[in-house]
Amino acid sequence: MAEIVLSVEDVSYSYASMDEEDVKALKNVSFDVERGSFVAIIGHNGSGKSTLAKLLNGLFLPKEGRVLVLGMDTQDEDLTWQIRQNAGLVFQNPDNQLVTTIVEEDVAFGLENLGILPADIRVRVDEALEAVGMEAFAMAAPHMLSGGQKQRIAIAGILAMQPQILIFDESTAMLDPMGRREVLSAVRKLQQTKDLTVLWITHFMDEAAQADRVIVMDGGRIVMDDTPQQIFRRADELEQIALDVPMSVKIAREMQKNGVELDCVPIGMQALAEAVCRLK
């Protein structure tokens, strides 16, 4: 059994409202995350994904239940900095995350605030830029970069803090298909080579299909939590909560309607091609 790096225990969260009842955004949510895993979180608009993301690094505190980051309770104010440093949160729009006029200064920004020595900052910035494949752009101006490149710089800024857990809240939503693939593959590589734990919130089912595990949210609750194979088998149930399945699964379903049965639920185009080749 791998080490648990993140524990969400019976967490509820509500937003205060002036004129109506409070909005219950999360209701009794519980799950654990193992070190080194890549977990996708899906759910339609308003299902509670972003609220959950902000609870995972202590930006929000649970109204009920508790969140443990590497065993540290997010309610403990003395641990807030340590928790934020270990659980980095990357948002949707890279423009809101870049603050200076030179890429390497941007990546160094958080470190200066942490009081890291200049020589160490140099090493960490170089390593972080290399990790996202942006070392050639160290002296570039962030506003001159493409969306995908900017997002990779934002990720480098978080990586430089050397977190053990990375949480991405629709971080590829603003990118074109190429930029999306770039960022996701950079993150996957980091997860595998540096044993980072990744939580990947997305509306793209093809991205969720690449995860080790998929958590499905609906109305502030977790309604499914399983491998992509098991989750995307349940296409009809997903449809009822306004969710889609990956393209490869859609094609397999269309084939089935036309009388061609594959021997598996193909997750990804490669798996689909292989299943088709196995047909007699």
Ligand X SMILES: Nc1ncnc2c1ncn2[C@@H]1O[C@H](COP(=O)(O)OP(=O)(O)OP(=O)(O)O)[C@@H](O)[C@H]1O
What residue ranges bind ligand X (CB under 6 A)?
Answer: 15, 23, 25, 43, 45-51
Kindly state whether residue 93 participates in binding Mg ion, applying the rule CB under 5 A: no
Minimum CB distance to ligand X, residue 46 (Å)? 4
* Residue 45, contacted partner among Mg ion, ligand X, none, CB below 5-8 A by kind: ligand X
* Residue 48, contacted partner among Mg ion, ligand X, none, CB below 5-8 A by kind: ligand X
Residue 156 or 201: the one with the smaller Cβ distance to ligand X is: 201
Residue 42 or 165: the one with the smaller Cβ distance to Mg ion is: 42
d(CA 151, CA 90) in angstroms, rounded, equals 9
Going by C-alpha positions, the residue among 249, 246, 241, 236 that lies closest to residue 205 is 246
* Residue 46, contacted partner among Mg ion, ligand X, none, CB below 5-8 A by kind: ligand X
Among the candidate windows 47-55, 105-113, 132-140, 207-215, which touches Mg ion by CB under 5 A?
A: 47-55
Contact call for residues 264 and 271 (beta carbons, < 8 A): yes
C-alpha neighbours within 13 Å on the C-beta side of residue 95: 7
Contact call for residues 213 and 40 (beta carbons, < 8 A): yes
Number of residues that bind Mg ion (CB under 5 A): 2
* Residue 81, contacted partner among ligand X, Mg ion, none, CB below 5-8 A by kind: none
Residue 26 or 70: the one with the smaller Cβ distance to ligand X is: 26
* Residue 47, contacted partner among ligand X, Mg ion, none, CB below 5-8 A by kind: ligand X
Residues 232, 164, 134, 94: is their CA dihedral positive or negative? positive
Question: CA dist 146 to 41, 142, 149, 195, Å?
Answer: 26, 9, 5, 28
Among the candidate windows 42-50, 120-128, 151-159, 265-273, which touches Mg ion by CB under 5 A?
A: 42-50
Going by C-alpha positions, the residue among 223, 217, 206 that lies closest to residue 44 is 217
Measure the CA angle with vertex 38, ends 34 and 40; round to 5°: 115
Minimum CB distance to ligand X, residue 218 (Å)? 10
Minimum CB distance to ligand X, residue 194 (Å)? 27
Kindly state whether residue 50 participates in binding Mg ion, applying the rule CB under 5 A: yes
* Residue 228, contacted partner among Mg ion, ligand X, none, CB below 5-8 A by kind: none
Minimum CB distance to ligand X, residue 206 (Å)? 17
Point out which residues bind Mg ion (CB under 5 A): 49-50
